[in-house]
């Protein structure tokens, strides 16, 4: 397993470069700064107005004057709330923009990495990177701006203002804040591991659920439902215990915090009362101090909350950076392939073994196809047929030798030309929960429904397509394995490729359908070079050449008619064994 699985607990400089993707534009940044400043300053000003009101009221000011002061207070309160709303709105927009940028970047990056990488990482793992980690990081960045920056500013503001009113009370407030901060940080050390335990239990529960649901068909068919439910019950019980423990700690902390704040408020109230009686402060100032003391609580609570998220964000940041640092093993070339017509294929002295695997899967492979020629590739299961096909598609590079298509070494070929000029139907067809149209074009711009229908007719799906309720816009679901394969045929021929690789492409079709589409595929292959891999030898009746693979080596290679005519050839004997006429 590579490094993206390890959640390192400290961020390096390259990790921090991920944050650049979350950075807002200069305009949005300035607006956010202004909003945060207003959201901090306005609540700080409100108690000043209250003091004025109380002192003026005691001093016997007119009702008109008091109403004006009260209105000013109201205005401040409304403006303060508005500033907070604008800040929250700006910050969440920033988070969405940033999250989307980061997700897009990661998705594109992961799709651009080659098969060797995807062999090492499951889709589930990558989803966790692109979704879970990105959200943790983006959430933290927003929370950092909203909660950490705003809270620290507000706390500092309160302490400074209280110092200015009465330095002795300011000093007491400062001491009190430091004590509370210390106590909360200590208590958090208890809470964080327990929260982590309950998150892990929840991940196990969902992992189990996902796996069991995905295997529902097999589980039911084998009567394993009851056992599965019992096992699930155990996992759920573990989550319950972890959550209960976490909740107990959480509630205790909350109660402790409330008592601490109540005690602090009482102390401040007592102090204020004492100074008022001593005649050093007015009643209005005492009310002001009391209000400031109350204001200290919320920022503290938000700060403590952030400590939990901070750790998750840091781990997420390290994993995202590690994923972005992964480089494809195949470097793209720039040479174009001939834009039209069939492409010749030359496989020259090719040897190959899968990365992280010492075994040689292919060796000494030489194949030459002139433009328009077709090759039938046969051999026992595991002999290396699909592997050779992958080299022709440049999903891997050969360890020795070269694969040339249209005279261009694939290592130098422009990847875009490669993907459009070479078509493929693989052993396991991947369909998407999307419209028939998108499944054919693979989400690329459509060449028009007429052309799509033409290709569907070509592979024998014309009637099926005509019966779709919303035409090609119908969501694709419930197709049989054979229909899926026909859709894959249509997909491969849509771009009018010059070289086609069909890997067991007709293996799931019933004999009648296979015969029916044999003609249309034959027509589609006309004027194209093709490599056709087949276990069923009857589907190789029209190919020009045959190569027999055995343990990664070509043990027989020649023109089909000559091999079929040769009584001693392996291919001839295979035909006899399969009961196919020579």
Chain contacts with ligand ATP (rule: CB under 6 A): 119, 354, 357, 361, 379, 381-387, 427
Phi then psi for residue 530, to 5 deg, are -145, 145
Rounded CA gap, 381 and 187, in Å?
A: 61
Q: Which one, 159 or 365, has the nearer CB to ligand ATP? A: 365
List, as one string, the DSSP characters of 423-485.
EEE-SS----SSBHHHHHHTTSPP--HHHHHHHHHHTT-HHHHHT-TTGGGSBP-S--HHHHH
CB nearer Mg ion, residue 291 or residue 386: 386
CB of 372 to ligand ATP, least distance (A): 25
Burial class (CB in 10 A: 0-12, 13-18, 19+), 8: middle
Q: Which does 382 bind (CB under 5 to 8 A by kind): ligand ATP, Mg ion, none?
A: ligand ATP
* Rounded-to-10 torsion of CA 339, 340, 346, 351: 50
The minimum distance between CB 329 and Mg ion, in angstroms, equals 22
271 interacts with, out of Mg ion, ligand ATP, none, CB within 5 to 8 A per kind:
none
- Partner from ligand ATP, Mg ion, none binding residue 483, C-beta < 5-8 Å depending on class: none
With H, G, I as helix, E, B as strand and everything else as coil, classify residue 421: helix
Q: Which is nearer to ligand ATP, 310 or 354 (CB)?
A: 354
Distance CA(162)–CA(172), nearest Å, equals 10
Smallest gap from Cβ 505 to ligand ATP, in A, equals: 12
Q: Which is nearer to ligand ATP, 147 or 514 (CB)?
A: 514
**Shortest-Cβ-distance residue relative to Mg ion:** 386
Residue 387 beta carbon to ligand ATP: minimum distance, rounded to whole angstroms: 3
CA distances to 401, 428, 444 from 497, rounded to whole Å, are 25, 20, 16
Cβ distance to ligand ATP smaller for residue 24 or 379: 379
Q: Decide whether 219 or 395 has the Cβ nearer to ligand ATP.
A: 395
Q: Which does 361 bind (CB under 5 to 8 A by kind): ligand ATP, Mg ion, none?
A: ligand ATP
Between residues 385 and 528, which has the closer beta carbon with respect to ligand ATP? 385
At a CB cut-off of 8 Å and minimum separation 6, what does 14 contact?
321, 325
Q: Which residues of the shown chain bind Mg ion in the complex (CB under 5 A)?
A: 386
Residue nearest to ligand ATP (CB): 386
- Closest approach, Cβ 381 to ligand ATP, in A, equals 3
Q: With beta carbons less than 8 A apart as the criterion, state whether 4 and 122 touch.
A: no
Any idea what DSSP says for residue 413? B
- Terminal CA-to-CA distance of the chain, rounded, Å? 50
Q: Where are the beta strands (DSSP E) in 270-371?
A: 345-352, 362-369
The tokens for 157 are 């503001």
Shortest reach from residue 383's CB to ligand ATP, in Å: 4
Residue 508 C-beta: closest distance to Mg ion, Å: 13
- Residue 194, binding choice from Mg ion, ligand ATP, none, Cβ under 5 to 8 Å by partner class: none
């Amino acid at each position: 397993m590579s490094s993206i699985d390890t959640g390192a607990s400290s961020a390096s400089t390259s990790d921090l470069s991920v944050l650049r993707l979350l950075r807002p534009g200069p305009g949005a940044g300035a607006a956010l700064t202004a909003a945060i400043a207003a959201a901090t300053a306005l609540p700080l000003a409100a108690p000043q107005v209250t003091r004025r009101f109380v002192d003026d009221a005691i001093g016997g000011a007119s009702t008109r004057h008091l109403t004006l002061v009260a209105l000013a207070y109201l205005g401040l309160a409304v403006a303060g709330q508005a500033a907070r709303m604008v800040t929250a709105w700006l910050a969440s927009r920033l988070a969405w923009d940033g999250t989307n940028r980061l997700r897009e970047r990661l998705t594109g990056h992961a799709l651009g990495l080659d098969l060797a990488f995807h062999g090492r990482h499951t889709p589930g793992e990558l989803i966790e990177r692109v979704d879970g980690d990105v959200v943790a990081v983006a959430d933290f960045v927003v929370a950092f701006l909203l909660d950490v920056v705003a809270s620290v500013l507000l706390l500092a503001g309160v302490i400074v203002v209280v110092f200015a009113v009465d330095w002795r009370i300011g000093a007491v407030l400062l001491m009190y804040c430091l004590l509370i901060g210390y106590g909360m940080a200590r208590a958090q050390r208890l809470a964080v591991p327990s929260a982590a335990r309950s998150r892990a239990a929840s991940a196990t529960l969902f992992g189990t659920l996902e796996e069991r649901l995905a295997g529902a068909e097999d589980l039911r068919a084998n009567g394993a439902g009851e056992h599965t439910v019992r096992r699930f019950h155990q996992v759920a019980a573990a989550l319950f215990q972890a959550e209960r423990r976490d909740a107990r700690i959480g509630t205790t902390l909350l109660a402790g915090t409330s008592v601490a704040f109540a005690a602090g408020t009482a102390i401040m109230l007592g102090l204020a009362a004492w100074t008022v009686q001593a005649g050093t402060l007015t009643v209005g100032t005492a009310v002001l101090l009391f209000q400031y003391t109350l204001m200290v609580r919320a920022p503290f609570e938000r700060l403590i909350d952030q400590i939990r998220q901070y750790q998750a964000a840091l781990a997420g940041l390290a994993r995202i950076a590690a994923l972005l640092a992964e480089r494809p093993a195949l470097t793209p070339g720039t040479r174009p392939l001939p834009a039209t017509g069939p492409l010749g294929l030359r496989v020259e002295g090719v040897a190959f073994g899968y990365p992280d695997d010492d075994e040689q899967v292919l060796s000494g492979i030489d194949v030459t196809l002139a433009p328009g020629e077709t090759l039938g590739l046969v051999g026992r299961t595991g002999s290396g047929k699909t592997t050779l096909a992958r080299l022709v598609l440049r999903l891997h590079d050969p360890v020795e030798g070269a694969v040339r298509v249209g005279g261009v070494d694939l290592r130098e070929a422009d990847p875009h030309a490669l993907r459009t000029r070479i078509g493929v139907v693989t052993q396991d067809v991947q369909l998407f929960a999307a419209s028939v149209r998108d499944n054919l074009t693979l989400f690329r711009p459509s060449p028009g429904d007429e052309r799509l229908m033409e290709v569907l007719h070509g592979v024998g799906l014309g009637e099926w397509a005509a019966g779709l309720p919303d035409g090609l816009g119908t969501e694709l679901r419930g197709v049989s394995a054979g229909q899926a394969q026909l859709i894959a045929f249509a997909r491969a021929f849509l771009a009018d490729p010059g070289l086609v690789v069909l890997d067991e492409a007709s293996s799931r079709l019933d004999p009648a359908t296979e015969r029916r589409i044999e003609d249309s595929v034959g027509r589609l292959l006309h004027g194209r070079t093709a490599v056709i891999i087949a276990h069923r030898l009857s589907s190789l009746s029209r190919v020009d050449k045959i190569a027999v693979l055995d343990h990664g080596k070509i043990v027989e290679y020649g023109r089909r008619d000559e091999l079929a005519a040769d009584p001693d050839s392996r291919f001839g004997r295979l035909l006899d064994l399969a009961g196919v006429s020579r």
